[in-house]
Amino acid sequence: MVQRILLIKEAISAVLLSTPKAPTVLTADEILQLEDLCLLLEPFNKNTSIVSANQYVTISHVIPIVCGLYSTMLKLESKLQTTEGYETCAYLAEKIKQRPFIYESRSTPRLATLLDPRFKKPGFRSPQNATQASILLENELAGINRTISSTSTDKNDEPSKPEDLEIPEIYEFMKEKLSSRIKSNRADAIIALREYAEKPNEPLNTDPLEYWKTRSNDMKQLQVLASKYLYIPATSTKSERMFSKAGEIVSDRRSRLKAKNVNMLLFISKNYELMN
């Protein structure tokens, strides 16, 4: 809205000057204040669209976007032209520290950030929060390994040997050592996470869901956790849009629609493109 005002400020001034008893036109200082305001609010507008989208992963964007917003506020200080702009910038930076920074300590967004191959640990502002998130992910991965090992029925079966291959008796000591070795779910989780963390970060235009689809062989347990967390929406905008659409369908003239029919109409409305 402020951008539109600045784009047509000359036309607005002309209308105000030619209209009796109209408000005074914008002064040069007020125009500078509006320009500073646009500069500060533009990053919030763009990134709100990112975390409110429906067609791609959004939850893993929360922590990196918060870090980016705070860094952007600090960089914009040198571009501001008014005292009001500096005060607004300081206010926004302080509010970012007070409220959105807390998402780094919440399980769902920080696990999603780690499991997004574009971000991982570099997506965090605080190395300590990244380390705590890694420990939490390690615990979840160890739990999955424990579940898989307890439900596996063929795990202790010896692999079949070719008929023409005889194992010399001299190697029997290795069989005894291998059979006595205790398998550690925690160690497996640590190794899997280390291998994943050491891989280079994927480009920012990578679809993390497509990335994890191809990792069923080498990182199957991590793939399970990625499916668990990356599908979580970052905001409630999708459900709110559904409520708004339902309000349009169930109007005063269509107040007797059955719930089943409303559900069908909403489904068609949201999936029409896929149906085509």
Could you read off the pLDDT of 140-157 as tens digits, one per residue? 998 887 877 666 545 454
Structure confidence at residue 153 (pLDDT): 46
Domain ranges of the chain: 2-106, 110-150+166-230, 237-275
Query: Between 169 and 251, whose confidence is greater?
Result: 251
Return the minimum-mean-pLDDT range out of 82-86, 135-139, 248-252.
Answer: 248-252
DSSP symbols for 208-245:
HHHHHHT-TTTSHHHHHHHHHHHTS-SSSHHHHHHHHH
List the Cα angle 195/200/205 in 5-degree steps: 130
The span from the CA of 105 to the CA of 108, in Å, is 9
Could you read off the pLDDT of 189-212 as tens digits, one per residue? 888 899 999 999 999 999 999 999
Band of pLDDT at residue 33, cut at 50, 70 and 90 = very high
- Would the pLDDT of 259 be above 80? yes
Structure confidence at residue 219 (pLDDT): 87
Could you read off the pLDDT of 212-249 as tens digits, one per residue? 998 888 788 899 999 999 999 998 888 888 888 888 88
Tokens of 179: 């059979």
Q: What share of the chain in percent tops pLDDT 70?
A: 87
Q: Of the segments 59-63, 165-169, 182-186, 212-216, which one has the largest average pLDDT value?
A: 59-63
pLDDT averaged over every residue in the chain: 86
The span from the CA of 112 to the CA of 119, in Å, is 9
Return the minimum-mean-pLDDT range out of 42-51, 151-160, 164-173.
Answer: 151-160
Please answer whether residues 63 and 103 qualify as being in contact, where contact means their C-beta atoms are separated by less than 8 angstroms.
yes
- Would the pLDDT of 12 be above 60? yes
User: Residue 35 carries which side chain, given as an amino acid letter?
Assistant: E
Task: Give me the sign of the Cα torsion angle 4, 8, 14, 18.
Answer: negative
Global confidence as pTM: 0.78
- Would the pLDDT of 164 be above 60? no
- Would the pLDDT of 181 be above 70? no
